Amino acid sequence: MAQLQERYNTEIVPALMERFGYTNRLAVPKLMKIMLSAGVGRAAEDKDRLPQTLDDLATISGQKAVPRKARRSVAGFKIRAGMVVGAMVTLRRTRMYEFLERLIVVAIPRIRDFRGLSPNAFDGHGNFSFGITEQVVFPEVDPDSVKVTQGMDITIVTTAKQDEEGRELLRLFGMPFTTE
């Protein structure tokens, strides 16, 4: 069991029960999944970009990345329906907690000029999304092998009903939010 998962069961659940007045442990918000996604819009021009993105996502997550195809043609972006335009990984259970721990403890502190994540980036249902501009903040990625720096979006899906509950859950996990 991951350390963050043990911490959730022993420290975070009782703290959330006290803060929000839950009487049942099963009503306490928890993490459902973490999704990593990266766009490779220039994959048609640069054939090395898609395999590198798939490899980087697989290295970061410890799980094979899935290529995503365009649903519609967009002439302005020179994209046809069926063309590979991105890659994604969905993490659940133990891998999710291990990734979140590496993200909070190792990767986020390595971001240049980092001042904290916006506490307002919730979707109204307790889910949190943010972006990272470079994949080299993760220690698993070798900076010498990276030809093109690639950003990615990270979405943390919770069972929280409101943003306040989701924000408190992630704050107790150690997510570095700005205080504004």
CB atoms inside a 10 Å sphere around CB 123: 12
- What's the mean pLDDT when you consider all of the chain? 83
pLDDT of 104 above 60: yes
Q: With bands split at pLDDT 50, 70 and 90, how would you rate the model's confidence at 34?
A: very high
Query: For position 107, what pLDDT does the model report?
Result: 80
**Separation of alpha carbons 148 and 37, rounded Å:** 16
**Separation of alpha carbons 175 and 156, rounded Å:** 11
Query: For position 180, what pLDDT does the model report?
Result: 59
Mean pLDDT of 4-25: 88
Class of domain 3-113+121-173: alpha beta
Residue type, 136: V
pLDDT in tens, 39-56: 886 655 667 777 888 888
